[in-house]
Each structure stands twice: as structure tokens, then as C-alpha cells.
Amino acid sequence: MRESFRASAPGKLMLLGEHAVLHGHRCIVCAVNQRLRIVVRPRSDMKISIDSDLGCYQSDLKNLVVEDTLRFVLTAIDQHKALLAHGFAAEIESDLGATVGLGSSAAVTAAMTIALFHLAGLDLEADKIFDRSLSTVRAVQGKGSGADLAASVYGGALLYRHQPKQITPLRTMHPIVVVYSGYKTATTDVIRLVENQREKFPGLFSHIYSAMDSSAARAARAINEDDWPTVGELLTMNQGLMSAIGVSDQRLADLVYRLLRDPGILGAKISGSGLGDCVVGLGAVRNKSRLQLLPIEMSRQGVTID
């Protein structure tokens, strides 16, 4: 029987195109230094046990029931159980809090998938891990762009589009600051609000999403050229686009403008779906007073086994 091992995957931060990517456009997403880890201990029988902050679970593999609190983990196991010769115990620990939108669902799916591949003796090629993980996410959610998952699997900064599939690693990284707004609106609720507006103004939203797409492509080129001032300008422009689709508010706008007034910041915008959560600034703040800064940096490391 195999020895115990650890699977680990990073969280993510959206830099550009977070709503446009849901409609086939490009975005820029990056992995961050905060990670989720799963310690796996093979068993001699066909039972599994899961221990996590969200809850505990025990079952025979053949009688697996997907419970809501662990739905991403259990769906991944259910999809791969026919490949397993024995059960296992898994302990999940995470730096990714549920409050801040750092992609914990994608990270746990990527980490669980690579752990299952390792248990089954399968090739740990990143493209295969990504495709299998995306099928798990879509089985749970019904849809999803896969941008969070791409960051968790491949690491680094990526130019990403889900249809047609494009995952392009970008060559350089830069210091960032992330400020938590103090509140969060559920992503599904924000998307519903945006989609209602898009149905009212389809032509305008088409132009806005095209502008987000062009911004992501231009920023990718600038990142590869180490031209971070241009990336900063594009981030700030896209704050206006996020406001135009209705996902900014007074608190978020104030945080963005506070960052932009700092001489160490090249650009800033909402990160994620909006109406709360986080604001990202490119650079390093020199005046940190009264800002709820999160200890987050870009990271090159994707999903791993050790």
C-alpha cells in the first residue's frame, strides 16, 4: 500500500475580465501564495473518511453519497472511485477563508483530483488534471468558466479563455496589494444582477465585454514585456467597466481611489465578482493606515503532490 502524501493547490485572484470570461472572452487570473492542502493516508479497506473545517464524512466507496458541505471533494471522489483499489483518509486544511473570494472551491477540487490521480497511479499531467477538475466543478455548479481552476492547477499569471480553450502562462509577476472591503455579496447573486442588466442592454454589454477582452489581451502583452505601468493603467480603466456593469459601490470605489492616491500603486480595481469582497492594487502601498490589507502575493506554484 502507498505511503501517505500531501496534495496542495493555490487560491486565485482575478485581475481582469472576471465577468466577460463567463461569455467566452479572455481574462487574466493569477495564483496566490495562500494554499489549500490535503493530507491523504491510504487505507487497507474500501472506506473513505474526510476531516475538514467544513465537516467530517465517512463512507464505503461503493455507497458514497455526495453531501452539500463537501460537494466538490465528494463529487471528485465519486467520479474517480472506479479507478481506486482501496480507500483512504483525507485531512483538509486551508489558508483560504470562505469570506474572501480566493477560489477555495477550485483549489480543493484541483488538490483532490491530483490526489485521486496519484492514488490511482495515473499520469499527473496538468492538462489532464485541469480537464478532470473542470468536469467536477461543472457537475456541481452546472457551469463555470474554469478561470479559478486554471490558476489553481497551472499557477502563475495566465491569460485564460474557456471557449475556445486558451491557457497562456505569462512570463513575469509583480507585487500586488489586496484590500478586503469588509463584506461580500454571494457570487451567484452578483452574476444574476449583471445578467438581468445584460438582458436589458445586450448591445452595450457586448461592447463592454469586448473592451474587457481587449484589455486582458493588451495587459498580457504588457506583462510579458515587463511593462507594469501599462498593466496598471488597464486595471484602472477596467474599474470603470466594472462600475458600468453595476458591480461597484461607494465602499469599493472609495477603496480603489485610496489606493490610486498612493504613490506606490500603478493601478487598482475591484477583483472578483464585485459588490463587496476585494480590491486589488498593482504595486506596494506606502501609506497603510486604516486599510485592511490581506497577506497575498502572486505565486508561480500550481497544484502539487509531495
pTM of the model: 0.95
Q: What is the mean pLDDT of residues 281-289?
A: 88
Length of the chain: 306
**What are the pLDDT digits (tens) for 201-246?**
999 999 999 999 999 999 999 999 999 999 999 999 999 999 999 9
**What are the pLDDT digits (tens) for 124-163?**
999 999 999 999 999 999 888 999 999 999 999 999 999 9
The helix/strand/coil state of 209 is: helix
The dihedral through the CA atoms of 196, 202, 204, 207 has a sign that is: positive
Domain ranges (residues) in the chain: 5-170+301-305, 176-294
Homologous superfamily (CATH) of 176-294 is GHMP kinase, C-terminal domain (3.30.70.890)
Q: What is the mean pLDDT of residues 108-136?
A: 97
Cβ atoms 69, 54 nearer than 8 A: yes
CATH, range 5-170+301-305: 3.30.230.10
For residues 254 and 15, what is the distance between their CA atoms, to the nearest angstrom? 18
